[in-house]
Amino acid sequence: MEEVVPLAYRHYAPDLDPRVCISVDGNAPGLLQLSHWPGNSTPPQFKHDLSTGICLKFMSSPERLGYLAKATTVTNTHYDTDGVLAAYTLCHPIEALRHADVLLSAALSGDMTLYTTPEGTKLELTLTALTKHPESPVHSGKFSDERERRQAQYEYAFELIPQLIDKPDLRYAWWKDEHRHIHADLRALREEEATFEHYAALDMSVVQTDRPLHIMAVNTAAWADRILTIESRESGAHRFELRLLTFSWFDLPARGNYPRPSWQPLLEQLNEHCASPGGIWVAEDLKDPTPRLAFVDAAGELADSQADAGKVRRLVVEFYSKHPFLPAGV
């Protein structure tokens, strides 16, 4: 790789000069954007399903030299694993390209909430816990200023990433309980303690369980953008939650981009035919990355419903049968 002036990370703020910035993952202005977020302006030759993948393609391309001659700064609008690894790739390209497989599996784990590889998932869990665990020197509670908080977290993450690639369990204490939870629930799904049925043409899975399951375990087993979870309660009631994953939110050239049909008709049907005391069916904004349609109480928490689980399932499946993921007959 040709020698270039190293780029510095500066967390986004309006006072940054976009003429010297390369913007990653979010939608911050810059002389170049390397992002898979909706509305991005990433050049077609660098497109990838993950922002980390986009940055790896960029740093592997001779075209990078023209941009890097003008840029001094990498920026992003938020903190998450894909964003951190995308920025790390630009700031530390030799190390990133050497370990591209681990970075990509971690970025996929974070943005899609999936268990990918042991090394990738552990890297994702560590980078996420970095902002939350009380033993982290940069946990969010230590800062009052948003830009200062994110700058410190990015800088510490950059120091930590090479160590984690070498020793994935380095910060085991930060995520050990969650990791055990994920594995226990993946085992439950494999051994049919909880069950799911997949509708490939609808890009949808229905999960039936008698206890709450970790979202990463459910997403990994279901591998669908539309997931209906039906949780049976000891009382005979059920809890219902329909979630959309980020598969239909990010710009994913390899998978394809499919519209999110308005679920207002489904919401109206559920409120009419599957009403129950103690709650109401609500639907979040489809513009959100991971919106849900669920039966909730006044506080917005999942509530026990006396509605017939078979009817709820039938209405959801019938709704998405009108909006298939694959063409009819495939």
Rounded-to-integer distance, Cα 181 and Cα 197, Å: 22
The stretch 223-247 carries a mean pLDDT of 96
pLDDT score, position 3: 54
What token pair was written down for 102?
């681990």
Q: Of 83-97, 210-224, 312-326, which range is least confident?
A: 312-326
Distance between CA atoms of residues 307 and 198, nearest Å: 23
Q: What is the per-residue burial (b if ≥16 Cβ within 10 Å, else e) of 56-77? A: bbbbeeeebeebbeebebbbbb
Which class is domain 191-321? alpha beta
Residue-level pLDDT at 324:
72
C-alpha dist (Å) from residue 310 to 95, 205, 230, 313? 52, 15, 10, 5
* Percent with pLDDT over 70 in the chain: 97
Q: How far is the C-alpha of 117 from the C-alpha of 240, rounded, in Å?
A: 30
**Which pLDDT tens digit goes with each residue over 296-306?**
999 999 999 99
Per-residue pLDDT at 319 exceeds 90: yes
User: What backbone torsions phi and psi does residue 68 show, to the nearest 5 degrees?
Assistant: -70, -20
pLDDT of the residue at 84: 98
Say what the pLDDT of residue 329 is: 41
Q: Where in the chain is the domain with CATH 3.10.310?
A: 191-321
pLDDT tens-place string over residues 29-43? 999 999 999 999 999
Task: Give the model's pLDDT for residue 225.
Answer: 95
pLDDT digits (tens, 9 = 90+) for 49-93: 999 999 999 999 999 999 999 999 999 999 999 999 999 999 999
Q: Cα(11)–Cα(33) distance, rounded to whole angstroms?
A: 15
How confident is the model at residue 330, as a pLDDT? 41
Contact (Cβ atoms closer than 8 angstroms) between residue 246 and residue 112: yes
Which value, in Å, is the radius of gyration of the alpha carbons in the chain?
21
pTM of the model as a whole: 0.94
pLDDT tens-digit readout, 236-258? 999 999 999 999 999 999 887 78
Residue 310: pLDDT band (50, 70, 90) is: very high
Mean pLDDT of the chain: 95
282: β partners? 294
pLDDT band at 323 (very low <50, low <70, confident <90, very high): confident
Position 1 scores a pLDDT of 44
